[in-house]
Amino acid sequence: MKKSLALGLISCVPLFGLSQQFTGFTYDNYSGVHGMLQNPASVAGSKYKVNINFFSLSALGGNNAYELKNDKFKKFDFSSLKEDRDYFKSSNTDKKNLWLNTDIMGPSFMFTSGKKSGVGLYTRMRTVVNTFNLSDKTFRFFGSDSALYNTPIQEEKLQLKAHAFAEAGVTYGRVIYNTPEHLLKMGITGKYVVGIAAASVYSSKLNVNIDKNDFINELKGDVNARYSSNLDVVDDDFSDVLDNLDNNRGWGLDLGFSYEWRPEKNNWLLNDPTPYKLRVNASVNDIGSVKYKNSEHGDSYILDASGRTTNDLEKQDGETIEEYLSRLETMGIITSNAHQETMKVKLPTTLRIDADYHIWKRLFINAGAIVNLINRDENQTTAQYATSYTITPRLEKKWFSLYAPFYYNTLNKKMAVGAGFRAGMFFVGSGTILSNMFSSKNVTAADVHLGVTMSIYQRDRAKRYKSRTVKEEPKEVIKEVTVVETKVETKVETKVDTVEKKVEVIKEVQITHDKDNDGIVDGKDECPEIAGEVTLAGCPDKDKDGIADKNDKCADVPGTAKYNGCPVPDTDGDGLNDEEDKCVTVAGTAKYNGCPVPDTDNDGVNDENDKCPNTPGKPENNGCPEIKQEVVKKVAVAAKSIYYMSGKDIIQKVSYPKLDIVVKVLKADPALVISVEGHTDNVGNAANNLKLSAKRAQAVKNYLIKKGISDSRISVQGFGNSKPIAPNTTPAGRAKNRRVELHLSYN
């Protein structure tokens, strides 16, 4: 922990969840199931007979702490970002918030069950994460440990809250009052909630001051940590959380009303498919809670480490979490209060109100607000939405809508302008896209929503009241036409003239003259003008390949009769003729019968130079792929949690879960190999340390083999105390030197 302990307690810079989902889209009269989530009353008197959501997603993120360079966002280039070049610390002095919110909607539908009622069913998963009260002064220390020394830090009511949950809900809505001028609807949603995970950290007051010799001048305060027990299984990812949901269950409720005013003086409304001048919605959403089993480490602690060094706060080699906390309590550094077995997390309750004004025909403008109803100081475990406001003009038609939300969040304190559209089955939009794409300012927030739906529409109100006229179609008149065919016979006379040919027979005269003096008389010499070979009927053979020049297409080069006197071709010029070359058009080698050296994995490195011939890789890695950083990190973290019996090579059972992570990594990629290195400190005999380090490395190998990893994929070596990574002059340094290192590679 060292000097960063203080920041470690308060610098878990978390995420602040925005209150809007599908920003701007839910106010559309054709938003269907998504409008039902905003206000359950909308399911009654809907535009749809049936509306089905196949999949939709809303994701938002941003902060008031850092600013991303505008050009980076416009090019969607988020790789290799570097502070003070690609992103910068914001100049504001407000409390710092980073925020993220996701809303994933699975298969869901709504349908009109009668003239006055409607029903909906939905499935949904959400994450709401937020932080409060991280001071600007503390934030400025991030990335600069030297600035921390001898600087008093004071934080009050610092809190981090995170909640992920899935839900399935049933909605019922009904028209409860209906006249030509007024319409009132109400709706209710009951939801069954499955808690995925919840966590919170709260400190009402925390004072920190550390000098540059790592002496703690002051470290006092309280830390209240609560998190669901299934998070105890988390290592580097959340893959095991879903397998340990225990009894994380709860119930929730949404209640909503919708009023429409349809003044008779606006006669154009009678023929409009959306016959209101003003619509007002109000609902209270997410009433309810989820009950979790609290982690055994989820307690309230009084912290006082003043007068100690940061070494006292180090977790020692081989020390379990329970042993570590027990030692801190024995030393009087922390004092824990009574443990609570369960933790109750409320749903992010909000009041949602909006007024939708029908300007003319297809044009509307909406003003909406979402008001947080959770007291953040009194509910230390409950993540909540922020109070926010929107103004959204839109063009709305049956098969198409276009909307542009103006969005303001009370914690982010910035106005954003977005855009979106709905076209048939698809919709996509963003509450910030226009601000981010067309402003020269750096980017602090971004969001997107999209989805795929299918709908069966109600008949438009205008069509239901419009008078109909029926026009009788004229009958077809069929006229009979008599066609008379006339056949004309023609006779053609052909005359054939016969021509007699006379053939004169010229007697062959025996010629005995040999004009070219090649020993063959001209009467038998096929080439009488040029001296030639007797075997070739007097014709010459310049290249002496047994083929007369007149028939030799390569008269100057010896060849074969098969190729008309030309040599057997070598199309690819690799020195092997085509009859022996199995790759005629590609230059190769004799070793591979004229084919190039193979590249089995098609990665651009041939098998003779490829150290991973069966796994696609990169030339700079000798044909082996680059190991993902998250995999390297996962194995490195596991290596730090391998503990042995004191002075022995017997692995403690507490290390098995971490070693099983390594087993999982190796089984996921059979091409990976691993080297196990053992190290010790300098205490004791060097020769004995070398033997012990080798035995401890071998113990890890034996465990991996036992779990099904091939012996050939594991190499071991002990280094004793020859490669320290810290000075052996302090207990902390020696603890770091007593280690096992695991290194992955493909060769």
The closest of 283, 135, 278, 299 to 201, measured between CA atoms, is 299
The mean pLDDT value for 715-736 works out to 88
- Token look-up 């309230």 returns 300
State the average pLDDT over residues 271-284: 93
Compute the distance between CA of residue 436 and CA of residue 447 in angstroms, rounded to an integer: 10
Nearby residues of 286 by Cβ (< 8 Å), 6 or more positions away: 252, 254, 347, 348, 349, 350
Question: What does the block give as tokens for 424?
Answer: 């048939």
pLDDT in tens, 84-98: 899 999 888 888 887
DSSP 656-693: HHHHHHHHHHHHH-TT-EEEEEEE--SSS-HHHHHHHH
Please, what is the angle between helix 686-706 and helix 656-668, to 10°? 60
Q: Is 246 exposed, middle or buried (0-12, 13-18, 19+ CB in 10 A)?
A: exposed
Q: What is the pLDDT of residue 497?
A: 45
φ/ψ of 8, rounded to 5, equals: -65, -30
The share of the chain scoring above pLDDT 90, in percent, equals: 39
624: which 2 tokens?
A: 């082996």
Residue type, 488: V
* Mean pLDDT along residues 427-455: 93
Summarize the confidence of residues 379-392 as an average pLDDT: 90
pLDDT digits (tens, 9 = 90+) for 201-260: 999 999 988 887 778 889 999 988 888 888 876 655 566 666 667 789 999 999 999 999
Using alpha carbons, list the distances in angstroms from residue 343 to 350, 379, 393, 394, 732: 21, 11, 43, 44, 36
pLDDT (0 to 100) of residue 65: 87
The helix (H) or strand (E) run that includes residue 370 is strand 363-372
Domain 2-465 indexed as CATH 2.40.160: yes
Please tell me the least confidently modeled range out of 1-5, 128-132, 442-446, 449-453. Answer: 1-5
Distance of CA 128 to the CA centre of its chain: 19
**pLDDT for the residue 273:** 86
Task: Read off the pLDDT of each residue in 567-590 and give the average, rounded to a whole number.
Answer: 80
Task: List where CATH 3.30.1330.60 sits in the chain.
Answer: 629-745
Average pLDDT score over residue span 174-202: 95
| pLDDT, mean of residues 279-303 | 92
For 66-82, how does the pLDDT look when each residue is reduced to its tens digit (9 = 90+)? 999 988 898 888 888 88
Both tokens of 524, joined, read: 């038998």
pLDDT in tens, 141-165: 776 655 677 888 888 988 899 999 9
Higher-confidence residue: 7 or 328? 328
**In the block, residue with structure tokens 């209906």:** 178
CA gap 655, 703 in Å, rounded: 11
256-280 CB burial, b ≥16 within 10 A, e <16: bbbbbebeeeeeebeebbbbbbebb
The answer for 120, left when phi > 0, alpha when psi is -120 to 50, beta otherwise, is beta
- What pLDDT was estimated at residue 511? 55
| Average pLDDT, integer, range 587-593 | 78
For 37, 278, 352, the CA distances from 283, given in Å and listed in that order, are 10, 17, 5
| Count of C-beta atoms within a 10 Å radius of residue 238 | 14
Tell me the C-alpha distance between 465 and 421, whole Å.
Answer: 29
Residue 238: the pLDDT is 60
State the pLDDT at residue 173.
Answer: 97
pLDDT at position 40: 98
Q: Which residue has the higher pLDDT, 323 or 335?
A: 335
Please give the average per-residue pLDDT across 679-695, as a whole number: 90
Instruction: Give the span between the Cα atoms of 348 and 19, in whole angstroms.
Output: 9
Structure tokens at 486: 């006339």
What does the mean pLDDT of the chain come to? 83
- Give the pLDDT confidence score for residue 439 in this predicted structure: 86
pLDDT of residue 411: 76
CA–CA gap between residue 331 and residue 320 (Å, rounded): 16
The answer to whether the CB of 110 falls within 8 A of the CB of 40 is no
pLDDT attached to residue 20: 62
How far, in Å, CA of 55 to CA of 105, rounded?
Answer: 6
Confidence of residue 471 (pLDDT cuts 50, 70, 90): very low
Question: How much is the average pLDDT of 187-191?
Answer: 98
Cβ–Cβ contacts within 10 Å for residue 303, how many?
21
Contact at 8 Å (CB) between 89 and 13?
Answer: no
Residue 288 has pLDDT above 90, yes or no: yes
CATH 3.30.1330.60 describes domain 629-745: yes
**What is the distance between the alpha carbons of residues 720 and 738, in angstroms, rounded to a whole number?**
9
What average pLDDT does this structure show over 403-424? 91
Residue 31: strand, helix, or coil: coil
Give the whole-number percent of the chain exceeding pLDDT 70. 86
Q: Rounded to an integer, what distance in angstroms lies between the CA atom of residue 466 and that of residue 470?
A: 13
Interval 657-677 mean pLDDT:
91
Is 661's pLDDT higher than 70? Answer: yes
Q: What local confidence, expressed as pLDDT, does residue 13 receive?
A: 34
What is the pLDDT averaged over residues 542-570? 80
Q: pLDDT tier at 124 (50, 70, 90 boundaries)?
A: very high
* 336, 329 contact by CB (below 8 A): yes
* Residue 564: predicted pLDDT: 79
Alpha-carbon gap, residue 640 to 648, rounded angstroms: 17
Residue 452: per-residue pLDDT: 98
Which DSSP helix (H) or strand (E) runs through 649?
none
Report pLDDT for 240.
62
Check whether 481 has a pLDDT greater than 50: no
pTM over 0.85: no
Specify which residues 476 forms β-bridges with.
Answer: none
Strand partners, 716: 676
255 alpha-carbon distance from chain centroid = 35
Please tell me the number of Cα atoms within 13 Å of 30 on its side-chain side. Answer: 28
| Rounded Cα distance, 117 and 388, in Å | 31
> Which residue matches tokens 């938003």?
31
> pLDDT category, 462, cuts 50, 70, 90?
very low
Spatial distance between the Cα atoms of 531 and 513, rounded to a whole number of angstroms: 14
Task: Determine the residue type at 606.
Answer: N
pLDDT category at 508 given cuts 50, 70, 90 is very low
| Three-class secondary structure of residue 3 per DSSP | helix
How far apart (Å, rounded) are the C-alpha atoms in residues 715 and 697? Answer: 9
Highest-pLDDT range among 522-526, 680-684, 718-722: 718-722
SS3 742: strand
Rounded to whole angstroms, how far apart are CA atoms 454 and 613?
Answer: 48
Q: Which of 674, 717, 673 is nearest to 695 (CA)?
A: 717
- The per-residue pLDDT for 479 is 39
Q: What is the signed CA dihedral for 503, 508, 513, 518, rounded to 10 degrees?
A: 90
pLDDT at 502 over 70: no
Burial class (CB in 10 A: 0-12, 13-18, 19+), 60: buried
3-state DSSP assignment of residue 619: helix
CATH 2.40.160 in the chain, residue ranges = 2-465
CA distances from 645 to 383, 654, 691, 730 (A): 43, 11, 16, 22
